Amino acid sequence: SQSEQQMLSSQLECVQSIKDGVLEEAKCTESDRVTLFPRQGSGAETQTQAALKLLQVETETLYSKGDSEDLYVTNILYEREVIKREVTGAEVAELVWKLCLAHSASYETADLFMTLVFELRHLPLEALRALWQRSSFKCRDNWQPLIDALPSCATEACVVLMKDLIASGEVEEDKVEYFFWSFTFIPNPTSGMIESLAPLLKSPRASQSCFLGVTALIHRFCSTHSSCDIVPAVQSVMRTLGKFLGGNCTVQDSEHLSKLQLVLKAIGNAGLAAARLAPALSSCAALRSHPMEIRLAAVQAFRRVPCS
């Protein structure tokens, strides 16, 4: 019955035989006993025996000398063979169509999607725009493979196309956010990427992810380019952000307060490029008449600016 309690006791015993440091034989006996209460003497017991015996020792190595020549040390990032042939827009369009026909949870779909990402990297901007006009359709499950693949492409042409789609309103809001956050992970940003994205910051509809995504891209760019603050594209973005400050971060209303906090966070996000805004940031932080949130945000905007 449900009121009865069960008690389980188990025991495992193993005997091993080792010779010259090698395990030759192992014998194990496992006993399990279940006792039911309050009945005395009731229950069940099982006993399992297992034996393992060494039959032979292989002296050959796992890899031949020829195999070892192909081994090398690398990082854990995904690798794929470089495509040596020229990729055409028609081939990529066919790949998108195959993705729509493939089962959504299959290995084939994963492989096709990865192939799509790598082939997009070989298309110039005009070919990408033509591909979008041809293959921006939704699959039967409302999936747009091209939309999901673009953020992983990470080329200047792909970034420019994403900017075009954002500016034209051709993609849904959640995908726009997805685009912006993907800029943070672009390994080798270019000034062309920054130049194409800069106008988006001037839009009244520019979201938090827009400000932070673009400035994160600038931070990555400046991490690999010395004197990045003299690059015209970077200067354009920082001028736009500087205009939002208005010289000393004067707050007009609660909505403007939130906007200023976002801009100050974006300036800090930009890293080395924020150095040219140091005087304005100092004014924002120094004025006691400013709300404490603004003064604190202005101080935090210095977090990636070098002291010298």
Listed residue (6, 49, 7, 43) closest to 31, CA to CA: 49
Measured at the alpha carbon of residue 234, what is the angle toward residues 230 and 240, in degrees to the nearest 5? 120
- Read off the pLDDT of each residue in 196-211 and give the average, rounded to a whole number: 94
User: What pairs with residue 13 in β-bridges?
Assistant: 29
Count the Cβ atoms, other than its own, within 10 Å of residue 37.
12
User: What pairs with residue 22 in β-bridges?
Assistant: 19
Report pLDDT for 258: 92
- Read off the pLDDT of each residue in 162-180 and give the average, rounded to a whole number: 94
- Read off the pLDDT of each residue in 50-68 and give the average, rounded to a whole number: 72
Q: Where are the domains of the chain?
A: 5-53, 86-180, 188-308
Contact yes or no for 159/187 (Cβ under 8 A)? no
Q: Which residues contact 206 (CB under 8 A, 6 or more apart)?
A: 200
- Read off the pLDDT of each residue in 76-81 and give the average, rounded to a whole number: 66
Report pLDDT for 1: 44
Helix (H) or strand (E) holding 103: none
- For 222-259, the pLDDT digits (tens) are 999 988 989 999 999 999 999 999 878 888 888 889 99
pTM for this prediction = 0.71
